[in-house]
Every structure is written in C-alpha cells, then in structure tokens.
Amino acid sequence: MNADDCPLTEALKSINGKYDPLIIHLLFMEEMRYNDLLHSIDGITARALSSSLKKLLKNNIIEKIYKENRFLYKLTENGLKLKDSINDLENWYTRNKYLIRKIK
C-alpha cells in the first residue's frame, strides 16, 4: 500500500502540525480569540499559531467568525466530528504511554 493511498495517513496530514491537536482540543471547549489561543499554548510563537490556524482553516476543521465585535475561531461541523477520534487517541496514549518511546 502506498502511503498516499492510506486514509489514515491522509487524515492525519490535516492535523499533524506540532500545535494542531492542541488548538483543536482547546476549541472543543470554547470559541477563542487569536490572542487567547496564543496565551493558552505554552511555547507557541505568533508565526507558528498563524501557520497552524491557516492550515486548519484550509482543511475546514476550524472557521473564523465575527461575533460580538471580535473575531473568534471555532470548530466547524467537520472539526467537531474529530472529537471522538481524538478522545480515543488520548485514551490509547494514556493507557500505553509507558510502552511508547518518545521521538526526539
């Protein structure tokens, strides 16, 4: 099987950035402004956040909306569908983290 033919590989490409899963996780809880995201993620730079947001917007996982005189980021319907899968991955990692070697 070619990696480009694997649905899982293709799905993970849309959320594989260093901060993408964390942004998605934060947006599961609430809509957030850019600066709120920037201050909620340890170690992220403005450039990295902008890059991740652009990719997630392009992949229809998040959307930028204007609400109450400010711009907010929120998950799209498509992005909300990731919740169960992401929760399953988090649970799998929690149960198996002692078996997994960290890649540096």
11-69 per-position pLDDT tens digit: 888 888 899 999 999 999 999 999 999 999 999 999 999 999 999 999 999 999 999 99
- Return d(Cα 15, Cα 8) in angstroms, integer: 11
- Intra-chain end-to-end CA distance of the chain, in Å: 27
Q: How far apart are CA 104 and CA 85, in angstroms?
A: 25
Domain 3-99 matching CATH 1.10.510.10: the answer reads no
CA gyration radius, the chain: 15
- Stated pTM of the model: 0.85
